[in-house]
Amino acid sequence: SRDVASAAPTATAPAGAGIKYTDIPLTSLRQSLAELLFRAKPTVPHWYFSVDIKMDAAMKLREEFNRALQKDNIKISVNDLVIKATALACTKVPQANSSWQETFIRQYKSVNVCMSVDTPRGVVIPVVLAAEKKGLASISEETRSLALKARDNKLQPQDFEGGTVSVTNVGMIGVTSFPGMVNPPQACMVGVCCTKDILVPDEVSSLGHRRVKMMSVSLSCDHRVVDEEVAVHWLHHFK
């Protein structure tokens, strides 16, 4: 009907009378990313799994590594640990390192981890290639280099190519839950949230409890590729 047609959304939202605004041109990269994500939600059957992970041992290990690497000016971040853990989990559960190809599922030999970097021009997603073969120090140097290039707008096309799984870390701003979108044609996206101090029961402690560091992680999956058994096994190995 005419009323329905008039209510349909238009490509460009009109500005109300007297409202001041600025139109920000889209870069080709931002437009390509927007188109990719626009297709992702309606065409990829998403489902989500979440787990809380005790981080005390990982944080202690990180401190030990950083003390040993201080002379080389290398500082391993929590995100570096997550990228390495993602790669190792994908080697244990290769179904998660795959993509839907309409008539077959493609399983990749290397784990190329996409990492989200926030820049003044928006989020960009460079790739750490073959992360399963690299040590934490190498991953740390590479992620720092990619982040610097991203913020200086110096990433090259090859820096975005070949990703097989994605990691997005929103923990630094205190986010506690993040079921993100899969980045097609990948089958999995790992959403990392903040690490919190919580109290857990402890019969040995005189207080009856102890404080532990807990990090929430969400795994977003393409249901055509990753079923619940695969997702649960992947999260088990990631922990």
> Known catalytic residues?
223, 227
Task: Determine if residue 83 is left, alpha or beta; phi over 0 gives left, psi from -120 to 50 gives alpha, anything else beta.
Answer: alpha
CB atoms within 10 A of CB 237: 15
Helix (H) or strand (E) holding 50: strand 46-54
- CB distance 138 to 189 below 8 Å: no
Strands lying side by side in the sheet with 46-54: 46-54, 209-222, 188-201, 165-169, 113-115, 127-128
Which of 110, 126, 214 lies closest to 164, judged by CA?
A: 110
Residue 122 sits at the vertex; the CA angle it makes with 180 and 32, to the nearest 5 degrees, is 75
**CA-CA distance, 151 to 191, in Å (whole number)?**
21
